[in-house]
Structure 1
């Protein structure tokens, strides 16, 4: 009689977090690549991969945005690693990647790309959301927006 493959096996290595799931963490001045991040989290034991791409939008708070610049504190990458390690500890992460852009960006440019692979889709969605939310709120990266009317503002300072 064949084994019942529909039953979950939490003791199976593929159902557990990888020993070293953090595959890519970076803050860059150059354009970001969704393909690079997606490739970094490829894992044969993962049944779900969640990817988030943050782009520069044309408006904010009812005002038209002309462009923006990101700047990061020297500790930003270390803080990204701390957050990634926490997400990996709290979820069965098989692979994780996150990159954030700094410098001057135009409307439509990629500002941040994060991805997480887990054994199942629900875990991947939850871990990816936690990763981007914590990066946004805790990593010392600041946004300087310039509006079409000449006004400007700092966000996250």
Structure 2
């Protein structure tokens, strides 16, 4: 999806609803749409109400092929009108990783809410997992992309 399509999708966004349940994801920084103090916050229902994408892939962390589902990272970023170049992602245990926003444009990266059709508890890398479709492209089968796959995702800061 190119920048033009992101802009069209973003222009259609009127407002981001407020979460009704526990916040599971906060997006801040260079965004144009917020729903709580300059940040965009999401509960699980909000993420699961977005168009869902599914793929099966092998990972370095699980035996065999694993099925993941959740919204595309690029759709979530378009919804909040992300304007930066990089994403600082932080996990529940304060692990941090920086990934280029371009990854969301180039690959079908998802914010997985489910693994093998089941919600992911914290003890099994949940509740959110930024995951790349490793088996879809040989270049994704590299340590640099494995390192960008952050589980127990808590927040994303969009930076320049």
TM-score by length of 1: 0.24
Determine which structure has greater relative contact order: mean sequence separation of CA pairs < 8 Å that are 6+ residues apart, divided by chain length.
Answer: 1
**If each structure's strand is expressed as a fraction of its own residues, which one has the higher value?**
1
